[in-house]
Structure 1
């Protein structure tokens, strides 16, 4: 039995060894056909290589958390995602009490305006009374001057009567008599002429009567002049002296009355001025009350306006934190509001910031938005080094070339263009495999077989590498995990870039 058992053990051992050898040969592809390895590939092409500085950043926009400046009960908000122009309402508080207060303030202001208008009317009336009193005072002063003139004339007449007529006065009276007689003679002849013309029917009765009336008036003036001359020649009689003295006394009495009237008119003017001053003071007080009432009304309107939360700029309500019915106040944001545009703030390592300049072109992408890439330019390089997670960085702002769908706070990748290498052979960076001696190689697909080829590379970015030696334009290089391919391995190309 033992020889048979040994034979079976030996046979099993042979089978195990044979299976191991077969497996080894299979893994090495020796002696057995193996299925081709599927790979993606890319054509070697000639083009410009953009050398970039890759950094990360955050999309920012003009945004704000909005809250009411007064407490109250929320009654309405816009839905999230609502676009609004600057000044349009976004939320409202229950404003019943505020509206009532504003209405009451309006009535108070209108009543104060009415009071000020009535006070202004009283000022106008008082000013008119001052003008009337000033006119009366002026008229009284004129009466005083006239009365004084009367006193002086009466006194002069009395003095003349007492002293008798002077030769010059007699001569003047004689000349007046001669002139009056000549005028009467002319009027008499004219009246006689009118009588004849009336008899002949050449003039009317009225014309004749007028001529006779003029003749009688001329005769009366002649008689008056003659009587005055006669009085001068004979001197004043006792009766005339007493009459002249009485006229002086009467003129002085009239002057005293006029002086009293001036004093009374002045007192009236002063009283009118006092009334005007009081009316003006009342008007100033009424205007002050009206101004205070309008200020209270304006304050009530402002408080009423504070019950409406309005868009501070054109934008979108990105989030609503509080629902209607809740009580809110200045410390509780109701919603977030953001402008549609935005910018990117990237953090550049302190060691690399010297390669960044204002106006430099860049490319911005975001993992959260596949397929979205937008050009940008550096608009500002920060002047301060900041510490972020142990790294020393400088904040750089970039303006985007067009609007993007990014949300505020989206993480982005930024490729800052440092320079462009023109017209070099390019292969995808993932096709290049580093080797232990520091060189590089690629797998060129030829006739369904991957052939390793050493290459010398130049500058590269995160997508492409420049090949200086080892490849020709149009050749096909493998992309799918080239580090796991073997020289001479059969492959099948799934896609070509």
Structure 2
């Protein structure tokens, strides 16, 4: 005898042909339900023939039962019109917040110069090496200065000469020179008076000299007349005496006429001599004019300028550091030629700065000496204080940004040129204010708002708020929210005012 149990299943509302049947070793009475019909028959099958026919009979009965079951209405559970929206909620916190502008850039030397020798010449000594720290004014290179020192001495001698000549002019003329000029004037006047003014004795003497010369001429003429009839008397003593007497008479008559009645030519010459003597006396008494003194002063100034130029060349034969810094490169060597056209040493300043480009909508928030903080990857977590040292007065025409220089205050000397820096500039800070996550604030119809959870925690309501400062993840709520409210943190895009929600997480 074979013990078989068949179970035939059909679903309400299904096609009667959709059946499931199973075979197991359990025996129980047949049962039927309204939603799912289960027909369970158990029969002892005496032989193999019944084993084959029984399933067919059971299948027919099951089809009838399933058809009846499909005619009965099935009970369906109630489905809501809008299923609850899964959300994450949190509560506002009270804390501090600051408005911060963030920029990044590379640390650069505040000053970087290619130093050249102002004077040309052979390099006598290089006094620094790469990496040396120097102070402003420290000597770093020397040029051979023999020629420049010789030029300085020459210029100093010329200056001394100009200064000595000026002092001589200030002292005025020597007394001897004035006396000589005065004597010359007196002599010229005396000669003039001697010609133009004759005393009675001088007139008588002149007349007597003329009369004597005339008498001597007559006597010589008389003696000559006695022999002239003989002929050939030109070389006789009488002829020579007549000639000499004639000359003496003419001379006496000319002297008499000159003394008694001098001609205009003679008088003009005498007057000129007197005037020249007067001018010589004036020049001796006042030898220099204002123009002479001005020229002397100009000569001194010119000589002083020559000395200054020569001294400048001597001083600049030594190249000195223009600012505190570090020697970055050394190009010159001992014996090489230095000149204003050839770089000798590259010097970078110890002071560092970061140049950042600030958008035009942010530059109005910045001002000189404004505090900032700086971080570099070499010292993670360490803040270096900094200040704004320069704000460009005009924006870059291409990028419309303003170049701003920020200098770190690195007293320990940790920072190095070339380091990448992150900069934060504090604009405003508020303490003890109500803060919510930035993701909790949405904008509806141009108004900032948050979704507040109802008391039964089944729905949410849209509530407008007024916001204040914000940082990377938080927003200050100035109006519209209290610390006891619970707000939606995520899932806001699927919400509306009065929407049903299901809390899936709470964030403290």
* TM-score over 0.5 for the pair: no
Query: Which category describes the TM-score, using the shorter chain as reference length?
Result: 0.3 to 0.5
| Higher RCO (CA-CA < 8 Å; seq separation 6+) | 1
Q: Of Structure 1 and Structure 2, which has the larger fraction of its residues in helix?
A: 1
- TM-score under structure 2 normalisation? 0.42
- TM-score under structure 1 normalisation? 0.43
